[in-house]
Structure 1
Amino acid sequence: MAIFAYNQIVSQARPSSAATSLTPPKRQLSFQGRLTDSGGTPITTAVNVVFKLYNALTGPTQLYTTGTCSITPDQDGIFNTLLGDTVCGAEITSTVFTDNRDVYLEITVGAETLTPRQQIATVGYALNSETLQGYPASSSATINTVPVVDNSGNINIAAPSPSLISSSGTFSVQGQVLALKTGTDSGGDVIFQPDALGSGQILALGGTTTEDSFRVTNANLTSGSLLSGYVGNDTATGRLLSLTSGSTETDRFWVAADGRAYLNTNATDSAFIVNQSGAGNLFSASASGVAKFTLNNAGIISLLDGVAHTLDDIAGNLTLTSNSTIISLNDNVTFAGTTTLNSLSYTWPSSQTTNYVLQTNGSGTLSWVAQSAGGSSNWRITAGALSPINDTLDLLVGSTASTSAKFAVLNVKTATWRPPRSNL
């Protein structure tokens, strides 16, 4: 008995369009042959045939066998069968074609094994209907599988903690709109980490001319921070925040690592503008949690109660001006050095004398002098009594000389009395 001729093809569907869901093809081989006897006469009765697959032209490395299949040729001895259709053998395992570069078919008719084995021409990854380079396709890809685009246009990766890794060059992701999102209700984070070793930057390069280049929104935020940054050491000398602008990049606003804030502007308007729409203070300052300075909503400056305060301009002059006619200084006020009132400067004395009055020399130097009608006085009034300020003076009435005075008390402190003249 002999095989006159045979053909084999891979049994597979030829769809007119892409499949709507992942359906792997059946692993079968369609085989056609012609049976004749040694004289060339067609065999038309049923015979037992065994089909086997090997990975070499000779040798015992068997990959698959159909077992005994009953084959009934037609009147010309021609027959067709499907290897692996469960009628003639179980389905061929995927590893037969994915793990072997070459596959050979061996046929046994009755008790006679036909030689040589015939190579399956589509092996060598050409017959790769279910796998790609040995990896099966999967709509929810796990490890060692090929991801596919599902009906919704998604590539699903079911493996835990997967990664997309580019070993060199620039890894680019491009789209009309890019969205990096975590799963609904997952509570997951979106992490940008350029380099775990500390080098590399996160760069956001925008091209808009009228929209915000970078915007963060959160309608659910209650007690957390919308933006938060942390420098995790005590030696940093750089900046926590830095904003620059200009055709030549110029610092405009920055916050140093120690918390100091700097503002740099060449604007013609105010460099720092505060607009309080509510009823709260315009500005408040504290030291170690203790309030020191407040500018309230009415424009009134309040300083810490019970503590002495100093307005010090370090050098030059300190000027208080008002658009109204009155500047009110309530409570105690201390002036040191030269004081200017209504454009007139005054230098104050370093001490004072009881019952003396303040007098200027016309050049702004102030001094304490005794009271008099002319600006100085030798008299004092104490407890309803009038007495000389200088107790060593003479009290004269009627003359400026003690010898001609009508009445005299010489040296009022020692009270030397001189009787009045007869014509007093």
Structure 2
Amino acid sequence: MKTDALARVILDRCDELAALSSEPGFLRRVHLSPEHAAANELVGRWMTESGLSTWQDAAGNQCGRIEGREPGLPALLLGSHIDTVPNAGRYDGMLGVLLAIAVAGRIEPGTLPFALEVVAFSDEEGTRFGTALLGSRAVAGSWDDEWWNLIDDDGITLFEAFQDFGLDPARLPGAVRRPEELIGYLEVHIEQGPALEDAGRELGVVTSIAAARRFELSMLGKAGHAGGTPFERRQDALVGASELIVEIERLSRARGVIGTVGRLEVFPGGVNVIPGRVDFSLDLRAEFDDDRDEAFRIIADAGKSIAERRRLDFHSREFYRADAVVCDLDLRAAFEAGIRATGDGEPMALWSRAGHDGVAIVAITPIAMLFLRCRGGVSHHPDEAVTVHDVAAALTAFEAAVRALAAA
């Protein structure tokens, strides 16, 4: 099939996957749900049609493989994820899986000096249980048994969800891949930012994946009557939290990091009651670990200073950390060769502000990523959009990268 025609098929398949949603009217597909099972079945069928042998691993990841010049060779792993955030777009993760299947389908079995595997990771976003990368961490052998006690919004534990899905938690170690089984991991993903579009480029090679930390922050004051408490006696937790949120934005801009407060809860929440407690989140990202960590130190100091001045208490608790991941130079070079094969000029390099499964997979094998532009840089939203032309370019570059590694 010609590249442009196959690109259209890939986009049609993205539409089919987007129809597998737990919420009418918008896309939501979470780990170990009936929709996840249906997506695995559909992706597995497409893998089979492309000539791959298929299986679902012990963590619920959908996998496929074609052998190299002899059976049992180490594999080059291609893939992305098929779970979504709430009210998602249809290309984040899914497009990378479908591109990987398409590339595998264009490779004649038994011709490469390595096997080729495709994986559709089951849980990159962490929407259901609040902990991201569950699928890839299972593969990488970095699973934390404390996660079995995580609870979703319906009170179902991760342990119970595994059983409901037909998986045996005791067999989870069966998903682990050993470093000697793999030669690398390649992923194609929409950029989730505007850099490529602003530069007028179709594709870009990723240099690294962001260093990230996430925190639960709290400002504690004293609730009181809105009418009866004079300003000089107020210990308003919301005013203190608001001051820190503004300071987070200022500090982030000044230091070149990305600080975001995405959730805020006010207690007791009465319209005529001075807030006595505010809990809010902080998502902090940077290209380098040291920049991220120094930014948090300054933010925490600012929180303590604001609290002291306003007679409040400030607390922070970290619940997620991912250190920066540098993409492998040899695998990057293969993607760069792939970009040149499309005629898109000298490859544009950029670092990923978003996290990806490669953050976990790098523990067992080198990784690299290719970005393709998305309209307006929009992601995690129904307005995600890509063009057939750019998907075709990504397909050409992805296949060329695999063949460049085979020829190396």
- TM-score scaled by length of structure 2: 0.21
Q: Does 1 or 2 have the higher relative contact order (CA < 8 Å, sep 6+)?
A: 2
From the CA coordinates, give the structure whose radius of gyration is larger: 1
Higher strand share: 1
- TM-score scaled by length of structure 1: 0.20
Higher helix share: 2
